Amino acid sequence: MVDHLANTEINSQRIAAVENCFGASGQPLALPGRVLLGEGILTKECRKKPKPRIFFLFNDILVYGSIVINKRKYNSQHIIPLEDVTLETLPDTLQMKNRWMIKTSKKSFVVSAASLTERKEWISHLEECIRHLLTKTGRQPSTEHAAPWIPDKATDICMRCTQTKFSTLTRRHHCRKCGFVVCADCSRQRFLMPRLSPKPLRVCNLCYRQLLAEKKKEAEADQRQTEPICSAIQGYEPSSDDSDKSDDDKADQWPADTEFYTSQVSWSSFHS
């Protein structure tokens, strides 16, 4: 399918239409050999509540964003390299059905489709693209993934101390390492995790201690490797040397009375 659509006029038109919908706020998406394989609306489990998001599947990236006017205007564009993606099917909940998790090294989140059939189509196409990319590059599937954030409404108390109750004045925070909902006292520490951000991020007290212990072990291992080299070189002397807000918190402009996932409507389509 990719070879059939690559470098065709219809593929170029489809990609140009997506770029136009994101406007100046989005990144250019047209590249030689890049093919738009499918698109659709999925419900993304966000921090405060599930929200509809538009998703576009290309042969090398997954793009999603917020819906301002469907098929006309989108914003908050996110681009995920498919080489970094692994998928995990999840059981239904009372609120959400046809769920699965999209896991990457920088961000992991849960989405749901309109029907079981559409979930199978999305997962099938995603897995096919991922396999093709990994075979092409010779890379191994990613094993390190960012923890998904637990939704705010999942708990009314801090998930670490289990004492602090959240309220209008006592706000919720998220540990960037484990994704738990925690209070301010249980998440005063910051830790640099280059895989997630160039800046130190909020972590809970437990994760902070674990990260410090891991860092100490790494430093000791590096020192053991360096000492033989240093002793072999004469005269060598070693040197002595955020916010909790995200695009999920932005006010949605999608009409509040729109009824999603009606039985007569297919919310996703894949090109052939």
149-221: CATH architecture = 2-Layer Sandwich (3.30)
Q: How many beta carbons lie within 10 A of that of residue 42, not counting itself? A: 24
Residue ranges of domains in the chain: 3-137, 149-221
Alpha carbon separation from 158 to 85, 151, 175, 195, 224 (Å, rounded): 30, 13, 11, 26, 40
**Torsion angle, CA of 187/190/196/198, rounded to 10 degrees?**
150
Collapsing DSSP to helix, strand or coil, 85 comes out as coil
Say what the pTM is.
0.78
CATH of 3-137, one of 3.10.20.30, 1.20.1440.120, 2.30.29.30, 2.60.220.30: 2.30.29.30
46 and 248 in contact (C-beta within 8 Å)?
yes
pLDDT tens sequence across 174-192: 999 999 999 999 999 999 9
pLDDT tens sequence across 6-37: 778 999 999 999 999 999 999 999 999 999 99
DSSP class per residue in 142-204: P---PPPPPPGGG-SB-TTTS-PBP-SSS--EE-TTT--EE-SGGG-EEE--TTT-SS-EEE-
pLDDT tens sequence across 79-112: 999 999 999 999 998 888 999 999 999 999 999 9
* pLDDT at site 255: 56
